[in-house]
Amino acid sequence: MNVLVTGGAGFIGSHTLVELLENGHDVVVLDNLSNSSEKSLEKVKEIVSDYLNNPENKESTDNNKSLDERIKFYKGDIRDEVILNKIFDENKIDACIHFAGLKAVGESVAKPWLYYNNNIGGTLNLIKVLDERNCKNIIFSSSATVYGVPESVPIKEDCPKGSPTNPYGWTKSMLEQIFMDMYTSDNEWNIILLRYFNPIGAHESGKIGEDPNGIPNNLMPYITQVAVGKLEKLGVFGNDYNTHDGTGVRDYIHVVDLAIGHVKALKKIEEKAGLNIYNLGTGTGYSVLDIVNNFEAANDIKIPYEIKERRPGDIDESYCDPSKAKEELGWVATRDIRKMCEDSWRWQKNNPKGFKD
């Protein structure tokens, strides 16, 4: 397939490009680089080129085009109809994987209009052009945040959606509803809503990974920046949660497993399966201290930490039942917590300044 990948230069997008290209798909990337660097696309090419030059992998794709032909980049914004139409004029697009969006929870509280405009306004614009161009196949990056405080764990897809605690979370919840209404209005759409749990890790080459601006909000990038000496110590947000050691429990998933989930979802799109929702997680919950301990053991580095106040909006535990994705997509996460810790660290160690090196 020729796949339009919005936000393809970002963390999850770049890892997904690798898996798509290694599985014979071609990609057209649209990204405004507001939270990423074009360098990630160069690194994606290096990784895929190494993969294709390995005789063991020769059989995996019968795509004979050069890599430069198979990955096209447009710098632009999903809110801009002109560039979207230009992409459709210049390419035959079979499906869209839609990652583009802003994702910083705290910033979304401070700048709600920006988040609604970028994430919802941008997606509405994208849907309009996809509809006009009769390309009604889309995979959307949703989030476990749509469950709010879950009624019970492990969370299944039919667990009622809850109230997100911030505008970022609301954009995901509202966009899910918009996609459902689009499908109700026109059954020709094939829509897959993927609810990611907590993506961490990096490609094992150490060439691409998460590159947050400023001080990281999320746990693993904070830990790796402590490990590399950029930050002094980790603050653990609360140790009085209702969990095995009192610290918050989450379902961490290796970003490469997540990326592979998109390739599997694309297969489902080819089957014209209508509207489907899948949790993408491992099904196992780890606490903040479990992650610190695993990181220390995997990489032989001490992570100093101190217990701090709870962070507003955080919940005790969140982990999924991933069996629907296994049964219907044939997808299972295979990379364990040690591998997630090793790969996160390799990326950070090799690129202390991320893509700014």
Residues at the interface with ligand UD1 (CB under 6 A): 105, 143, 145, 165, 168-169, 198, 217-219, 222, 234-237, 248, 250, 288, 311, 313-314
Nearer CB in complex with ligand UD1: 90/240:
240
Q: In angstroms, rounded to a whole number, what is the distance separating the alpha carbons of residues 349 and 351?
A: 6
- The residue number whose beta carbon is nearest to ligand NAD equals 10
Q: How far is the CB of 10 from ligand NAD (least distance, A)?
A: 2
State both tokens at 220: 């693993």
Q: In angstroms, rounded to a whole number, what is the distance separating the alpha carbons of residues 351 and 79?
A: 32
Q: CA gyration radius for the chain?
A: 20
Q: In angstroms, rounded to a whole number, what is the distance separating the alpha carbons of residues 57 and 40?
A: 23
Q: How far is the CB of 217 from ligand UD1 (least distance, A)?
A: 6
Q: Annotate 335-346 with b (16+ C-beta within 10 A) or e (fewer).
A: bebebbbbbbbb
Give me the residues that bind ligand NAD (CB under 6 A), please. 6-7, 9-13, 30-36, 77-79, 99-103, 118, 122, 141, 143, 196, 199
Q: How far is the CB of 203 from ligand UD1 (least distance, A)?
A: 18
Q: How far is the CB of 196 from ligand UD1 (least distance, A)?
A: 7
Q: How far is the CB of 54 from ligand NAD (least distance, A)?
A: 27
Nearer CB in complex with ligand NAD: 52/116:
116
What is the identity of the amino acid at 13? Answer: G
Nearer CB in complex with ligand UD1: 25/172:
172
Nearer CB in complex with ligand NAD: 13/283:
13
- The residue number whose beta carbon is nearest to ligand UD1 equals 248
116 contact choice in ligand NAD, ligand UD1, none (CB below 5 to 8 Å, kind-dependent): none
168 is catalytic: yes
Give the other-Cβ count within 10 Å of 316's Cβ.
Answer: 17
Nearer CB in complex with ligand UD1: 50/314:
314
Task: Indicate which residue of 74, 115, 147, 168 is catalytic.
Answer: 168
Q: Catalogue the active-site residues.
A: 168
